[in-house]
Each structure stands twice: as structure tokens, then as C-alpha cells.
Amino acid sequence: MTSTVSSGAPGHVEALELSNFKSYKGTHYIGPFRDFTCIIGPNGSGKSNIMDAISFVLGIKTHSMRAGNLKDLIYSVDDEGAVNKASVKLHFAVSGSKTVIFQRTVNSSGTSDFLVDGKKHSWANYEKVLSQYNILTSSRNCLIFQGEVESMVHKPLRDITSMIELVAGSASLKADYDQKKADHERASERLAQTSKQKRGAGLEQDLLKMQKAEADDYFKYMNQLANAKSDYAMLQFYHIENELVQAKKRHQPALKVVSDKEKSTLDLEEKHKAYKQRIAELHKETMQLMKVERSKQHDLLAKKRTAAESDMQTKNLEVKIQRTKAQLTVAKKEGSAQSARLNSLQQDLAEQETLLKQHESVWLEEDKQGTLSDKDYAEFRKLREEAQAATIGLTQEAKQLKRETDLLTHQISSLEEVEKDHARRLRAADDRIATFEKKKEDLQNQGIDTSQQKDERSSELLNIKGLLQRQKQELAKKEIALKTITEDVASIRQDRDESKSSLRMKQALQDMMKLFNGVRGRLCDLITIPSAKYKIAITVAMGKNMESIVTDTDRTAHECVQYLKDQRIGMMNFIPLTSVRGKPVTDDHRILGGSAVPAVDCIKFEPTLLPAIRYSLGTTIISGNLKDAEKVAWEHPSGQRHKVVTLDGTLLQKNGVMTGGSASIESRARKFDEKDLEEKKEKRDKLAAEIRAIHMESVRAEERARDLDSQVQSEELKSAHLKTDVQQWEEKQNQATEEKAKLTKEAEVFGPKLQTLRKQKAALDEKSDTLQKKITEAQSKIFGKFGMRVNIRDIQDFERRELNKEKDRASKRTSIHSIIQKLKAQLEFEQKREQPSSAEELSAKLKELQEEYATKKKDDQKRQKAESAIDKELADAKKSVEAKSKSLKGEEVEIKKLKKLLDTRNEELEQAKKDRQHLLTISEKLRAQRSVLYSKCSAEDIELPLASNKRKREGSEFSVNKGGPGDHVEEGEKQQYQETQTDDKGYITVSEVFASRSQMTGDDPKASKKKQTTSDVAKQAHQQLVGLDFTKLPQELRAAVRKGKVEFKEKAVILEHKIDKIHDKLDKLTPNLKANNKFKDAAGKLNKTIVDWDEARSEHKKATAAFNAVKEKRFVKFNKAFTTVSKEFTEIYSALTLGTRGAGVGGQAYLLSDEYDEPYLGDTSWGVVPPGKMHREKEHLSGGEKTVAALALLFAIHKVCPSPFFVLDEVDAALDQGNVAKVVNYVRSTCTSCQFLVISLKESFYVASNGIVGVHKVTKEHSSGIKTLDLTQYS
């Protein structure tokens, strides 16, 4: 189907197809519809059923279609058969030639179906398809039903708001908004409840504070007593410290001498150590080179022995080769192998015999070269037998002595081994003792470090506790101030009910004061009422002018009025100073008598505000009571009447009218306090923020205090464990020392016993030597002449050598004789066999011998080369050994000189240390006095100002010796004291740091929570480092110590008397000390309520944020639509009424909401001013004026979310011809962008359309009929 409409709209209704719908029997095709189509017909013809058909197909609810339920929409006539189904099709043409057919059917059971282009859809999908073409069924943005225009005038203002919210889309946020708002209200209620609890806890704390004050006097005297005792003790400490400073000044030069000597000695020791290391390295290198030299010599001797053996083997091979050649020659000649073997055996036998002869020859030659001949040997043996017979007794005795000597030697060796074992065990015991001592020292150092860490943490814990105490005091003061100012704010705000409208007005005033110069502010904020009794009277006297805005000029007032219009804000009164006038007060008004006084004289204001004051108050008189007021107002002798206000707010006017008794006067009078209220609120918020900050800081400090307390306990436990470990190592050290003593005692026995055995051995050795001399003398007598003759000095040594030589010769003879016997046996065997050897065997044997000889020669050549190389390496090694030995000797000479110098320096260092130790003794005595005094202060619980915390913060580090201040410093121990600090005038400010010892090591450091005193410090550690702070000691006391001992004693006596007087005062007091504990409990309760209040406030903040978010989203959507409707309403109404009473003049329209922040919750009022008429309420407008105004508003609402078509049902019923023409003109000018389908009653309306659909009754068929007419062909 081709559209006949040339609309510029995104789509339009092309036609309707009704089937058995209401008065339409059968199927009726209605159309085509054009840009501006009117539907006309007589009453009852069914023209409005077309409106119902469009509503039906678009899914509008049944009650809008004048039907009880869906079944009533099906065509039905009593005398005809029932129709079971009705349907409506809407042909909607979109861009181009595309047409979408929306269809809805209903059957007799009341079931309805939705179809798009013949396909069935659910209602949700169907509605979604409609919304794609901007057809919104929920807001009905395309339909205006019959009577809806007239009902707009009487429609509740809240319904107008709902209509705008529907088209704006903000209605979808209502459920979420309601939920968030409920959450916000619950959070606000909880916040109010916790605030009430917090105020109750504050009141309870205030009551306990009064009781606490009663005990403060007692603590004040106790503090005075503590301060006096502290001053007395610090005076004594200052005296000791002053003496110690003088002693230390004398100690410094001696300390420098020791330091210089130690440094010099240390340098020499390092140098000596370097020399020793160098000598050790040279010695090691020399030994390595000597080892190499010995190795080369051994290799060379081995090579030479191998060479001798190889030469002999080579000669044997040469002999064998010659013999084999000879045998081969014989074998070849004789041709017999047997002969060759026999010759070989004979040759071998001859060789062995020759070899024996060679040995015998060699031995004979050796004997010839020796000292004895055979004859001499025979004589030697004979003389030896004689000597043995002569010395047989001495020899046996010598052997017995040797056995005894060997036994003693064994005993001495065993005892020496035992002595060495004891010495080793002694060294092991010394090593264990040193190890145990080192372990013990390490543990003691760890204990000192642990104690220092514990002291630092204890000191920090004490500081944090002090900080918490100060914070509690400061918190209490601020809470009292906050409570006072909160009560003031509450009293000012009591019964004060600020609506959203008033808050909006106040915000608008602030904005105008920023935007426009000359806006002074509200009149009630610009004046001051010195006396509170006049507030109510001034309030009544000013009346509505009380909240008027004062401006410098009337132009500024006009700008403000325009700003209020633009922002759609309510009305405000303005008082321009340049234009307002008022009656001035004269002296006659001031002498009216009684309690009468001009109202102007009861306030204070700037002179420039005088015009505004005269305008608002004029000559109003304020009277103290009603009786005087009546006299002044109406019965004054002068005959003049005056406007009078009594102090209770009763107004007496000049005309005799009396007004009074309004309950809202007091509430209005409080507006004078709003300026002061803002200042108090700012101060209150600031105090609340400070209290929160202090509270959060206190929470962090308490957490840190708990951590430190836990760490201190851990350090104490660690110190106890370390002490136990030290005791265990001491026990082990004692056991090792006892073992060493036992070994030492046992070793004392070894010396005498060894000495006895050695003496016995020496005696036996001496006796043995004597016997040996006797034997030697006896042998000398027997061998004397023989020895001189053969040149043998020691017969016994000669005898031993000869005996060994005879044994070697006998061994070699036996070996050679054995070989000879074997060869003879083989030769005899071969001779008996008579099997000669073959020439081939001898040739092979000769070849083997020749090859072996050649190999041997090559090996000899290689060996000779190796010997030459070893000779060269041996020479190089000898040179290296000589060079290293020379360097070693030079270094040894140098180290001897250095050792002698080092010994001299050590002696000088020892003497310097002795001199320094003498000076240290003086200082240690003073420190011992200080330690005793400190212990006394600890026992008496006297608080001393300690400087350790201060020094810790400044980053100072200090250490002390392992003992106390008065302990002796052993040689080699390290002792460092933090030096005494002085000011520019030489007065001592901080003592040197010293170690304190606890007398109550079993106390629990958590038992006391009060301010740290000397006793508290001692209770928290076995030993800690402390320094006394003398800056708090009065100057006169420090000056007395510097002057001398007499002045010092005088000041001490004065302090003693002061202490006695304070004791007398304390004896007279009986304080109640429980008030402090109750006050702390109340403070804890208050802190808990504050925590609850903070949680409630946090919850309130979150709920507020969530509520504000959805509120802002809803506001943005609604405000955007509201702005559009307001703008379009003004423009459309102006267009619809343009030229009604004058050319070029249109009417005015306005749209207002009474809620600025949340307009969707308020009423939306609207009104119009027809051209040329005064403003009147819309109920007083004529019927046509109401209709035009309502149409303009409906058209404006339609503009928010415009649909492609607009269906109007009899909207022209109440319009006259002139208004019809205006509406027609507007429709014709708008139909190019939006299709208009109008059910009209007026001829002047439908003749101006582009097409007409006529509806008539078909009586025979009991149905409605349709006729269409295209009017464009007549235009």
C-alpha cells in the first residue's frame, strides 16, 4: 500500500482496519490518513470509537476506552448472532515504502493477542517495538481523550507532576528512590539516637569531674613534695656531676697519651704480623724448593742405577749374540741342532763360571784394596775369638744393662706420652674455657642490647602514655566547650522548622550576594538587638519586612527579581535604600512616658541602613506592658494615636485593632539569632573535627602503646632467658676450670717421676759406657798391634762391615753356583739325548737377540737424554734454594729488630695505662657515690628528670662497661660514657649517661600506669642507661654548687625544711582517691558512645551519598523535561493566543514547582495570562481560555517525547471560532513534523484539514459506516 501522506515526520498512521470492533460490524478499512485529518460525524455515530480503536491497538488500558473489560469491545447486537472475536490493525508507514502493521485481537473469553506484521508478540516485546518509533503507551504521548482537556484545569497539581515525570522517564527511579530514602531516614534516626547517648555520657562525665576536683589538692601537694625531693636529689647529683666534670678534665690528657701509644703499638703489631707472614711464606717456598731438589736427586740416582743395570744387560746381550753367532756357525757347519744346543749350554755354563770368576776377581781385588789379607783375616778371626773369651763376662753384663736401659727408655717414653696427653688436655681445657668465656660475653652483650632496647621502648611507652593523658585532658576541655556551644545551637534552633523552600530562598540570597553588587542581605541579619527582651516586639513591629532583602539601589532589586524568575524561585521582598521612605522618630516619640520607647532606639545598625529601618519600623513604639501600651496607642493626652507593640508581642494599631497570641512569633524572633547561629555552628564543627582528630590520634597512640607494652614484655622474657644461658655457660666454664686444675695437679707428678727415671737411665747409660770402655780396652789390648798394623781403628765397626760383606758374597756365590749346577744338569741331559739343534732355531734366536739389543740401545739413548734434563733441573733447583734461603735470612734479621722495638713500645703502653688507671679511680669513686644516691632515689620513689629519651630522639648513641658505674675497668675493656653537656655559661645541662641497677627485678612493669619515675625505670629492667637532665634544676641551686661546698650545703638545708613543711600539709588531708577511677570509667563510656556515634555518622554519610545519587539522577531527568515543558508551554500558548486582542501580542504562560531540590515530589502549578487581561486564577478563566491553555500545556508535554502522530478527541468542543482558528493554525504549522488525527465537532476546524473521515450510522446493519474525503484537491 502506498502512502498518500508527504509528512516530514519519522513515521505516520497510514490507515486503520477494524474488524467487529465496538460499533463497527465486519471489517472496515479507514484511511488513508494525511498530515492533518479530521474525523467527523453526528453524535452516536461511532466517531469516538475510532479513538478507542487506536487506543486498543496501542495497548492502552480498558477504562480509557469506555469499556468495563476487553470483551465489551467486541461488536454485539441483541437480535443477531454473537461475534467471538474483534481486532484492530494500525498501518504505520515508516521511511520509504515500508509499512509496519500493528494488530491486536480479543476473543470472547477476554484474551488479547498482539501481532506485528502478522507475527505474535508478548506485550513486552510489542511495547518495545512501539517505543522504537517513539510511541510510549505508559505516558500516552500520542493520545488526548475526550474530556481530558477540560479536566486539565481541575487536575490536581501533583498529577501534573506525575505526567511530566512519566514523559521524563524519571518515574522508573521511584522505587529505588523510595528505598534509598528509607535507608537514609533510618540512618538519620540512628545518628540522632547515638548523639543523644553521647550527650548523656558527657553529662555523666561532668558530674564525676566535680568529684575529681576534690582529690586534685591532694595530688597537688604530692606533686610539690615530689618536686622538692627531686630538686633535693638533683642538687646532690649536680654537686657530684660538677666534681666528676673536674676530674674528667684532668683525665683527658692521660687518655690521649694512652690512645696515641695504643695506635703506635697497633701499627707496629700489624707490621710485625706482616713480617711473620712474609717469613712463613718464604720458609714454605724454600721447603717446597728443597723438596723439589731432593726429588730430582732421587730421580737422578734411580736413573744411574737403572743405567748400570742396563749396561750389564747390554753386555750380556752382546755375549749372547756372539755365542749364538758362534753356535749358528757351528750348527751350519755340523748341520746339527743338537750340537748347537750343547754348545749353547756349554757357552752359558762357561759364562756363569766366567761370571763367578769375575766376581771372585772383583772380590779379590776389593780384598787387596782393603786392609786385610787372607792371612790377616785368619789372624783377625783368631784374635776375635780370644777377645770374646776375655770379655764374655763384661759382654753379658753389658747386655743386661742394655735390657734395663731399654726398659727405662720405654717407661720414659710412655710417661712422656702421658705428659703430652695431659698437656693436650690442658690446652683443650683452656680452649673450652676461652670458648665459654666468649659465649658468656656474647650473651652478656646481647643482654645489654636487649636491656637498652627495652629501656628505649619503655621510655617511648612512657611518652605515649603522657601524650594520651594530655590528649584526654585536652579532649575533656574541648568536649565541654563543644557541649556548651551545642547547647547554645540547640537552644537557638529549638522549634526552628526550615522547609526546603526557605532553604532554597536562603541559598538564592547567597547566590545573589555573590552575583550582584549592592545586595546587603536580610534585614534581620543586618541589625542587632542588644537586649533579648525586645526581640519579640521588634519581630512584630517589622512584620513581613523582617526577612526583606536590603539593596543599595532599585536597579539591583530589579536584577534580583529577574534572577528569581529565571531560576523559578518564589517571591522575595526587596528594600532599595535609594527609593524607600519612612517616617523619622522625633523627640516627641521618646517622651511619651511610662515604659514606652521607640522601636528604632531598641536596635543597633549601620547608619547607611537608616532608610530601610525607617521604612520597616517607622514610629512604632515598644511598651513594657499592655496597660501602658493602651495609653500610648489610644489614650495619650496629646490626642495622637501611635502604633504600639508590647514586649510579649501584642500589636495595638492606630485604628483600634489589637492583634496578639500568635505562637509563631517566638519562632520568627529567632531569625535574629541565625547569623550568630552560623558562627556557632562553624565553631561547633571545628571543635567536632578537632575532637575527632584527637580521638583518632589517641586510638593510634593506644595501639602503639599496646605494641610497645608487648615488646617490653618480650624483651624482659628474652633478658631472663639470656641470664639463664649466661649462668649455664658459667657453670660449664667452672667445670672446665675444675678439670684444668685437676689436670694441672696430675701434671705436677709427671715431672719428678720423669726426672727420677731419667736419672736412673743416665746412671745405667754411664755404667754401660763404663763397661763398653772396659770391653773396648780389653779388645784394644788384644787387637792393638793388629789394628795398628792393618790400620783399623775400630775393630767392632770393622767386624760389622766385614760380616755384612761376607754375607753378600756368600749370597751371590750361592746364586751363581745354583745356576751352574742347573746348566750342568741340562748339558748332561742334552749330551745323553744327543739331539743337535737346528740352524733355523739358532738363526731365529740370533734375530731376537739382535732386535732386543737394538731396542736396548734406543732405550739407553732416551735414558741418557732424561739424565741430562734431570741434571739441568737439579742445578736450577739448587740455585732457587740458595736465593730463597738468602731472602729468608734477610727477613729474619729485620723481624728481630722489629720485635725488639715492639717490646719497647708495649712497655711504654703498659706504663701509660697504669697512669691513666690511677686517674680513672678518682672518677669511679664519684660515679660510685652517684650510683648509691640513684639507688636511694629508686628506693624512695623519687622522680628524676631523665635525658635518655631526649638523647635517643637526637640520635645519640652511648655504651658503658659491663659493670656498674663504680665497677673497676679491667685492662682491654671498653668504657665509654656520654659526655656531660653544658650550656653557653658553663652550667651543666645533662649528666653523663650511666647504668642503673634495679633493686626490684621481680616486679611487673605493667603494674604501674602512672608517670615514669626512677623507681618505675628500675622496675622495668635489670639495667638501663640513664642520663639526668639538669635544665629543670633552678639556676640558683646550680650557681650555689659552682660557688663552693658551703653554699651547696646551705641550699640543701633549705630544701630539707621545705620537704618537712609539705609533709605537715599532707598529714592534714584525707582525700577520696576513687573519684579519678570513676572519672576514667566515664571517659571510657564517653569514648564508646563517640565510637558508636562515628559509626552511625559514617552509616548516615553512606546512606546520604546513595540517596543523593539516585535523587540527583531523578532530578536531572525530571528537570530536563520540566524545563522543556515550561519553555514549550510559554511558546505554544503565546502562539495559540497571538493576535487575540491586538496585533502581534500573545498571552503569557508559566509553569512552577513548589519544590526546588526535588520537584518530582511537589506540586506543579501552571497558569496563563490571556493577552490584554490581568492575571487571574485559571478557575476564573472562560471555557475557551481554559481549553486553549490546557491544549498548550498538553502540546508542551507532548514536545518532551514527541510521537510521530497525535490523536485528539473533540478538543474543540469549548472553543469559539477565534480560538478554533488559532488551534487550527498551530496544528497546520506543526503537522509537517507530527501527524494530527482530530475528532472534531466544529466546521471551521475540519474544513481546514487535509482530509476528512466521515462516520455515519448504517441502520439496517446496526453498524457504523465510513466515508473519506481528500480536501487537498479543493485547496
What's the pLDDT tens digit per position in 1198-1216?
Answer: 777 788 888 888 887 778 8
Select the more confidently predicted residue: 1127 or 974.
Answer: 1127
Classify strands 36-40 and 85-93 as parallel, antiparallel or unpaired. unpaired
Q: For cell 600539709, name the residue.
A: 1065
Cell of 588: 516627641
* pTM, full prediction: 0.37
What local confidence, expressed as pLDDT, does residue 1213 receive? 79
- CB–CB of 330/837 below 8 Å? no
Q: What is the pLDDT of residues 392-437, one digit of tens each?
A: 777 788 778 878 888 888 888 877 787 777 788 788 888 888 888 8
Q: Give the burial class of 386: count Cβ atoms within 10 A of its Cβ; 0-12 exposed, 13-18 middle, 19 or more buried.
A: middle
* Angstrom distance (rounded) from CA 1051 to CA 1043: 12
Q: What is the pLDDT of residues 5-43, one digit of tens each?
A: 333 346 888 899 999 888 888 889 998 888 889 999 888
pLDDT band at 211 (very low <50, low <70, confident <90, very high): low
Nearest one of 336, 352, 324, 340 to 823, comparing CA atoms: 352
pLDDT band at 1004 (very low <50, low <70, confident <90, very high): very low
Q: For cell 660515679, name the residue.
A: 927
* Angstrom distance (rounded) from CA 775 to CA 391: 6
Question: Helix %, strand %, coil % for the chain, to 5?
Answer: 70, 10, 20
pLDDT band at 1075 (very low <50, low <70, confident <90, very high): low
* Angstrom distance (rounded) from CA 675 to CA 682: 11
pLDDT above 50: residue 554? yes
Handedness of CA 730, 736, 742, 744 (dihedral sign): negative
Q: What is the pLDDT of residues 913-930, one digit of tens each?
A: 777 776 677 777 778 878
Rg (CA), the chain: 68
Nearest one of 484, 487, 501, 493 to 677, comparing CA atoms: 493
What local confidence, expressed as pLDDT, does residue 820 receive? 82
pLDDT band at 770 (very low <50, low <70, confident <90, very high): confident
pLDDT above 80: residue 1092? yes
Q: What is the pLDDT of residues 580-629, one digit of tens each?
A: 888 888 877 877 777 888 988 888 888 888 888 888 888 898 888 888 88
* Angstrom distance (rounded) from CA 1232 to CA 11: 11
* Angstrom distance (rounded) from CA 835 to CA 1237: 159
Residues 6+ apart with CB under 8 A from 1213: 1187, 1241
DSSP state of 1257: E
* Angstrom distance (rounded) from CA 1011 to CA 1029: 16
What local confidence, expressed as pLDDT, does residue 322 receive? 76
What local confidence, expressed as pLDDT, does residue 961 receive? 35
Helices within 86-138 (DSSP H only):
123-132
- CB–CB of 1230/1131 below 8 Å? no
What local confidence, expressed as pLDDT, does residue 79 receive? 53
Q: For cell 453524535, name the residue.
A: 43
Terminal Cα-to-Cα distance of the chain (whole angstroms) = 25
Helices within 791-835 (DSSP H only):
795-833
pLDDT above 50: residue 732? yes
pLDDT above 90: residue 848? no
Select the more confidently predicted residue: 341 or 723.
Answer: 723
Of 483-487, 641-645, 1014-1018, give the lowest mean pLDDT range.
Answer: 1014-1018
Give me the percent of the chain exceeding a pLDDT of 90. Answer: 2
pLDDT above 80: residue 663? no
Total residues found in the chain within this entry: 1275
Residues 6+ apart with CB under 8 A from 1173: 1141
pLDDT band at 506 (very low <50, low <70, confident <90, very high): confident
Most confident of 512-521, 655-664, 707-716, 768-777: 512-521
Q: What is the pLDDT of residues 691-727, one digit of tens each?
A: 877 877 877 787 778 777 877 887 787 788 778 878 8
CB atoms within 10 A of CB 1169: 17
CB atoms within 10 A of CB 884: 19
| 3-class SS string, 959-1006 | CCCCCCCCCCCCCCCCCCCCCCEECCCCCEEECCCEEEECCCCCCCCC
pLDDT above 90: residue 551? yes
What local confidence, expressed as pLDDT, does residue 673 receive? 62
Q: What is the pLDDT of residues 625-646, one digit of tens each?
A: 888 888 888 877 777 888 899 8
What local confidence, expressed as pLDDT, does residue 1232 receive? 80
What local confidence, expressed as pLDDT, does residue 956 receive? 38
Residue 1207 dihedral angles phi and psi, to the nearest 5°: -110, 125
Angle between helices 1217-1230 and 1074-1136 (to 10 degrees): 100
What local confidence, expressed as pLDDT, does residue 1110 receive? 85
Average pLDDT of the chain is 77
What integer is the mean pLDDT of 501-514? 80
* Angstrom distance (rounded) from CA 952 to CA 713: 21
What local confidence, expressed as pLDDT, does residue 1003 receive? 41
What local confidence, expressed as pLDDT, does residue 137 receive? 73
DSSP state of 544: G
What local confidence, expressed as pLDDT, does residue 2 receive? 34
pLDDT band at 493 (very low <50, low <70, confident <90, very high): low
* Angstrom distance (rounded) from CA 444 to CA 447: 5
Determine the 3-state secondary structure of 68 from DSSP. Answer: coil
